[in-house]
Homo-oligomer: A and B are copies of this chain.
């Protein structure tokens, strides 16, 4: 695998993951340990009914929590689940903006804590418990599982909507996320986030980069 200098300095381990079936499989706690740190997120939402695109940026901080962290224990107790069955969790903080039609700007800042409670011995599927979801008062439970490429799938059902999300690492410093949301049974949005690790030692210089020609798939478009 040739990995010469150039472009952006993202460590590169990615391509092999997709074609090798014998790579080490991560459990969900390891996935969040790998997520720990500071990230910058570029987010695009496709509103399917309007065929329009909304974009935003945010800064994200992720702290992995051990299985015996008081917050993890507290969330398990909130959900009436034995805390000794948890394998860990995470504390996430974010700050960012989403613009609708570029006329209205809104700041979104917040934090949340969640806990992972696997259903299986490999700790690759189970429940993700959270204090409460966005605009929800009741505690929220999602179902997670790790797929065969170590992507994390998270399915969350709310009263009138449901979401399917997939998170994966293209490299240790580049995390991607897609989500589709259904409201009342119909797809309403599809979202894509590109999250890159903020490294204080590496300042990206726009001046050094020039627009690269557009990439087209082998499939053409």
Contact = CB atoms under 8 A, between A and B. Distances in A.
Contact of A7 (B10, B184, B204): B184
B49 A220 contact: no
A4 interface: yes
Contacts of A182: 7, 12, 15
Contacts of A135: 213
Interface in A44-99: 44-51, 53, 55, 57-58, 60, 90, 92, 94, 96, 98
Copies of the chain in the assembly:
2
13 contacts: A5-B184, A8-B186, A12-B187, A19-B145, A44-B192, A90-B219, A92-B221, A110-B221, A112-B219, A147-B149, A163-B218, A189-B212, A189-B215
Interface in A9-64: 9-10, 12, 14-15, 18-19, 40-42, 44-51, 53, 55, 57-58, 60
B219 A98 contact: no
Contacts of A214: 45, 98
A160 B3 CA distance: 11
Given A133-B216, A154-B218, 18 more contacts: A5-B184, A7-B183, A8-B187, A12-B187, A14-B164, A44-B53, A48-B174, A50-B209, A51-B57, A51-B204, A60-B221, A90-B219, A110-B220, A128-B218, A135-B213, A163-B217, A181-B215, A189-B212
